[in-house]
Amino acid sequence: MSSNILTHIRNYTSAGLLAAVGGILSFPILTRNLSVEDYGLLGLVTSSIAVAVALGKLGIQHSIIRFFAQLDNNNNPRWSVKELYSTALIAMLLLSALLSVIWLITGTVILPRYMSSEKIPQLFFLATGVVFLRLLGSGIINFLRAQQASKVVSVSQVLHKYLHLGLIILALLSGNLSAAVVIVFLLVAELAMVVYVGKALWPRLSMDRRSFSPALLKSLVIFGLPLMAYESLSLVLRLSDRYVIEALLDVNALGQYSASYNLTSYLDMIIISGMVQAIRPMYTHIWESESKLSTQNFLERGFRLYTIIGIPLILAFSLVAPDLLILLSGEKYHAGTVIIPYVALSFFLEGAVLFLGAGLHIGKNTSVFLQWALLAAVLNIGLNILLVPYFGLVGAALMTIFSYLVFLAGVTRQSFKTLDFPVDLSRIFLIPLLAFLAYLFLSRIDMDNRLLSMLFKGSLATMIYASLLFLLDVDIRDYIGQRIRKLRSGDAV
């Protein structure tokens, strides 16, 4: 089982790493060739796409994972896998069309009345196709995730990122790079990804219009709606501070904040998204096909891996990212680098919900996610309005951490009533303590050459990270041992 966990995590995190590299390559192109104002607006539009799509899916993408495991193991006699395919995909197609209309009206008619930038209507108009394809593609991708087709999903993510990057480079070379062009190319990349995953799912697909089930759709929505609201409110936690910063500070502060936040989001892309895509389908399948004890053992082992991988990686990233941001984007974004360690920690806390809240997902008690996410979002917005004028960008980042701590505590307490698992508190406290002490030491190293500083700190942090990883977890040692034995025998893929 450990090997299976690590194989899927390897696929998703490898895709995340490659996508992050592509993002880092595009990062200086955008930050150096777009104005700070345009870069901030681009970030605002893309973040708004994420919120809109999260709302538009009604949580059905989460329901696909949960119900596919149940139906594939014949644990629900009311419906079949064919009915799930038909109902979910037809619903996602209709929702994609409806959301696109709402997005178009909002971006071209409503928002221009309240926002000062004259570029908002054009950018939102161009992003309409992105909204449609991203929502539809989510349904297809989650069926592949439910079948644990991690390789196909991973390739699609890399295809999306590098096609977008290649088109941006062409626009740069032709002298036509702008925020509008970036969004048009994003549309092309979304289309390519949807075609790829659609082709991959087609041979596995079993559906027709007659198999559409209103009763199943109702169950999918009842299960998914609270998760949709939770996902949307999680994005509000990430997005609301940008609106507060734009309103209470200025557009330049928004650009600085967005640059540091966007760079840190690659950490989420590498580790947290990989974990989410790999782990949830696996523990859902184990629950349906094996036993409660097997699921508890899986979650215990998975959370241990998440902790020992995630915390040292946050250490290394927090040390390297400030120099990397300035190296890629220039000194004009230096003021925003102060938020990077805080934002990195908030991504780690968000990812921990995957394990600590598993009982709510398995028990179909998803309304708890909504209740605590709503409380956290209200806290975040209120505290941002109060503290950003006094503490600036750091205040916004700190309030995000505080909001996630409140959310995580509430969700864990409720989830463990349904499905608890042992948590090694000594390791939970030891690894962060060691990482914090290492950060205090390494962050004091100051070099005039930012490239050398980044390489030195990164190398030293990586050594610490690798040592902790190898010494503190038997699963990692076993996995490395298996790979070495396969390489020696000539059987490694």
> Distance between CA 470 and CA 472 in Å, rounded?
6
C-beta neighbour count of 384 within 10 angstroms: 25
pLDDT at 331 over 90: no
Q: Place 469 in a pLDDT band, splitting at 50, 70 and 90.
A: low
Task: Extract the tokens encoding 185.
Answer: 């190319």
Beta carbons of 461 and 315 less than 8 angstroms apart: yes
pLDDT given for residue 3 in this prediction: 47
Q: What is the pLDDT of residue 465?
A: 66
Report yes or no on 200 lying in a domain.
yes
pLDDT tens readout for residues 43-56: 888 888 888 888 88
Question: Which of 30-39, 83-92, 414-423 shows the lowest per-residue confidence on average (mean pLDDT)?
Answer: 30-39
Is the pLDDT at 180 greater than 80, yes or no?
A: yes
> Is 493 inside any structural domain?
no
Residue 188 reports pLDDT greater than 90: yes
> For the residues 464-484, what does the mean pLDDT come to?
69
Angle at which helices 273-289 and 150-174 cross, to 10°: 160
pLDDT value of residue 388: 80
What confidence score (pLDDT) does residue 4 get?
61
pLDDT > 90: what percent of the chain? 14
Mean per-residue pLDDT over the chain, rounded: 81
Which pLDDT band holds residue 5 (cuts at 50, 70, 90)? low
- Least confident residue range of 28-42, 141-155, 425-439: 425-439
pLDDT number for residue 370: 82
Q: Picking from 80-89, 146-155, 309-318, which range would have the lowest pLDDT averaged per residue?
A: 309-318
pLDDT at residue 414 is higher than 70: yes
Number of domains in the chain: 1
Q: Residue 2's pLDDT band (boundaries 50, 70, 90)?
A: very low
- Alpha-carbon distance 56 to 69, whole Å? 23
Say how far apart CA 470 and CA 467 lie, in whole Å.
5
Query: In the predicted model, is pLDDT for residue 491 greater than 70?
Result: no
Pair 128, 85: CB distance under 8 Å:
no
The two structure tokens encoding residue 222: 């009842």
**What was the pLDDT predicted at 75?**
67
* Tokens representing residue 11 in the block: 């696929």
- pLDDT for 207-249, tens place per residue? 777 788 889 999 898 888 887 877 777 777 777 777 777 677 7
Paired tokens of 289 = 């096909």
For the cut 50, the answer to whether the pLDDT of residue 448 exceeds it is: yes
Report residue 387 CA to chain centroid gap. Answer: 27
Domain span at residue 460?
2-485
Q: Please state, as a whole number, how many other Cβ atoms lie within 10 Å of the Cβ of residue 152.
A: 17
Contact 90, 209 (CB under 8 A): yes
Residue 6: pLDDT band (50, 70, 90) is: low
- Is the per-residue pLDDT at 136 higher than 50? yes
Is 283 inside a domain boundary? yes
Instruction: Report how far residue 344's alpha carbon sits from residue 313's, in angstroms, rounded to the nearest whole number.
Output: 9
Q: In this structure, which amino acid lies at residue 77? A: P
- Nearest CA to 6 out of 260, 302, 213 is that of 302
When pLDDT is cut at 50, 70 and 90, the band that residue 493 belongs to is very low
Q: Which of 327, 447, 386 is nearest to 24 (CA)?
A: 327
Residue 492 lies in a domain: no
Answer positive or negative: Cα dihedral of 278, 280, 286, 288.
Answer: negative
Instruction: Give the C-alpha separation, 244 to 334, whole Å.
Output: 20
pLDDT of residue 391: 82
**Model pLDDT, residue 279:** 78
Of residues 363 and 467, the one with the higher pLDDT is 363
pLDDT of 421 > 80? The answer is yes
pTM for this entry: 0.69
Confirm whether 113 is domain-assigned. Answer: yes
Distance (Å, rounded) from C-alpha 187 to C-alpha 190?
Answer: 5
Helix ranges (H only) for 330-420 are: 340-356, 358-362, 367-415
- Please, are residues 295 and 362 in contact by the beta-carbon 8 Å criterion? yes
pLDDT digits (tens, 9 = 90+) for 84-132: 888 988 999 999 999 999 999 988 888 777 776 778 888 899 999 999 9
The dihedral of CA 89, 90, 93, 96: what is its sign? negative
Q: Express each pLDDT in 457-468 by its tens digit.
A: 767 777 776 676
Number of H helices, E strands in the chain: 18, 0
User: Residue 428 CB: number of other CB atoms within 10 A?
Assistant: 15
Give the distance from CA 251 to its chain's centroid.
25
**What is the C-alpha to C-alpha distance for residues 268 and 161, in angstroms, rounded to an integer?**
15
Contacts of 355 (CB under 8 A, 6+ apart): 279, 299, 302, 303, 306
pLDDT at 267 over 80: no
d(CA 333, CA 345): 21
